[in-house]
Amino acid sequence: MIDSMKVLSMILAGFVVGYAVSDIRPFDSLLSSTAEFGSPTTIVNGLAVLALTACLVSVALARSSARGVLVVAIGAVLVVVFRTVGMVTGMFGDWACAVGAGALLGASAVLAGRHRAAQASLAVAAIGAGLLGTALDALLQADDGPVFVWDVVGAEDAVVPERAIVMVIAALGTALSLYQAHRDVALQSHETRRTRLIGLPLPIAAGVVSWFAAGHDSGDAVWLGALAGMAVLAVVAAFAFPGRDGRVLLVLFASATIGSMGFAVEDSLQLAVSVALLVVGAGIGYRWPQLYVGLGGLLVVAGASLIEGYIALPSLSQFALPFVVAYALVSVLSTAPGSLAVALPALFTMTLPVVVYSASYQPGLSSDVSVATRTSEPDHLVLSLAGLVVVAVVTVACAVLMRRPTQNPAAR
């Protein structure tokens, strides 16, 4: 019963984190509301703040009692909810959402410990909600769907009623389940020094590389150079993790590279299929974990994407992606709590813009019109081949990491 509640609490906590992630635009700066591509302040965006907070919170709570971690987790849930329902607005609200989601992720990772099922539930729920959250919003806001009434006071508020209701329900369940599952649990401390050394510079460095790829008009060469730089960051960070923990980061980075266009979701059926594939992939990965099978699946997806660029086929690779990502990720769990808190945001922070547009005003027209001009657009062949190369590099790196001894025996 306790294990079931622990898993449920991690599913709900992961959903809240991921749903908050889906509301944070990757390139919207939290330092300046007018930041544009090419501005150094764009590096410090909401996702980077979330990743930094998750690292710091997991380190700060590494040796805390379960009740102390619960206070932080439930407080973080409330902060995210307050922002979602419009009680915290403007730039301060954006910061609050990023910090709250990061704190919830860090605290949840500590509560999950090395319990493999709990870690898998947290990771898959966060990834699923992060990538599918906007699709869920669109489904709830459909013209033929339910209509909610929500009174909002203040011109700065931009509350989506459906999202607010979903978040309130999820947050209530998260708080109750976290308390019931972890109030009497004895937590094990974990290493913090390496967590800080990796988790603090990684999202900032990834932001610099991403900004470099987005802010230049040099074609494929700059984009490929940025991807190579991102791959170097991922490999170096993976080998800095203790034992084999770096495999989680590598799998997520490979998934982010070949899945940069997101899961295939256009209607309610595709949304349901994507969620089902995530769950099934995670379940099989939990029962029969095989890292190389998961990496092989990522190679197949990247190869299928390459073929689809020249043959009129359905987007098979996009439908297979959630299954393969969930399987590969769960296959490399469990890991140290701090390592999980640092690695999970990488799926969102270690991505590169595929198509970047810059808006410029043309005052010579009858009225000021914003005209979008292309600054970078790697073609399909470049993207697909780059994905294959990245997965191959990740596979080699994982093979080397497999030679390392494990730090601690994995829990269930």
pLDDT band at residue 147 under the 50/70/90 scheme:
very low
Provide the pLDDT for residue 156: 43
Q: What is the CATH number of the domain that holds 212?
A: 1.20.1250
33 prior amide bond cis, ω within 30: no
* Cα(381)–Cα(279) distance, integer angstroms: 31
Provide the pLDDT for residue 185: 80
Number of domains in the chain: 1
Does residue 412 fall inside a structural domain? no
User: What are 36-67's pLDDT values in tens digits?
Assistant: 556 666 677 889 999 999 999 999 999 888 89
Q: Of 183-187, 264-268, 357-361, where does the model show the most confidence? A: 183-187
Would you give the distance in Å from CA 367 to the centre of its chain?
40
Provide the pLDDT for residue 42: 66
Between the two ends of the chain, the Cα-to-Cα distance in Å is: 14
* Cα(275)–Cα(286) distance, integer angstroms: 17
Does residue 265 fall inside a structural domain? yes
- Per the model's pLDDT, the better-predicted residue between 3 and 153 turns out to be 3
The widest CA-to-CA distance across the chain, in whole angstroms, is 70
- Note down the domain range covering 233: 2-401
- N residues, the chain: 412
Provide the pLDDT for residue 37: 57
Does residue 411 fall inside a structural domain? no
* Cα(253)–Cα(234) distance, integer angstroms: 7
User: What are 194-252's pLDDT values in tens digits?
Assistant: 899 999 999 999 988 888 877 655 567 888 898 999 999 999 999 999 989 999 999 99
Q: With a cut of 50, say whether residue 86 has pLDDT above it.
A: yes
* Cα(308)–Cα(257) distance, integer angstroms: 17
Provide the pLDDT for residue 365: 44
Q: With a cut of 50, say whether residue 370 has pLDDT above it.
A: no
User: What are 285-309's pLDDT values in tens digits?
Assistant: 999 999 999 999 999 888 877 776 6
User: Helix (H, G, I), strand (E, B), or coil: what is residue 370?
Assistant: strand
CB 119 within 8 Å of CB 10: yes
Provide the pLDDT for residue 314: 52
CB 100 within 8 Å of CB 76: yes
Does residue 407 fall inside a structural domain? no
Does residue 289 fall inside a structural domain? yes
User: What are 385-408's pLDDT values in tens digits?
Assistant: 888 999 999 999 999 999 888 765
Does residue 17 fall inside a structural domain? yes
The percent of residues in the chain predicted with pLDDT above 70, rounded, is: 79
pLDDT band at residue 166 under the 50/70/90 scheme:
very high
Give the contacts of 341 (CB within 8 A, at least 6 positions apart).
Answer: 54, 55, 57, 58, 105, 106, 109, 110, 195, 199
* Cα(208)–Cα(226) distance, integer angstroms: 9
* Cα(318)–Cα(301) distance, integer angstroms: 8
User: Helix (H, G, I), strand (E, B), or coil: what is residue 62?
Assistant: coil
Q: With a cut of 90, say whether residue 123 has pLDDT above it.
A: yes
pLDDT band at residue 382 under the 50/70/90 scheme:
confident
Provide the pLDDT for residue 146: 45
State the chain's mean pLDDT as an integer.
Answer: 83
* Cα(280)–Cα(277) distance, integer angstroms: 5
Provide the pLDDT for residue 160: 79
- Per the model's pLDDT, the better-predicted residue between 318 and 186 turns out to be 186
Does residue 111 fall inside a structural domain? yes
Does residue 253 fall inside a structural domain? yes
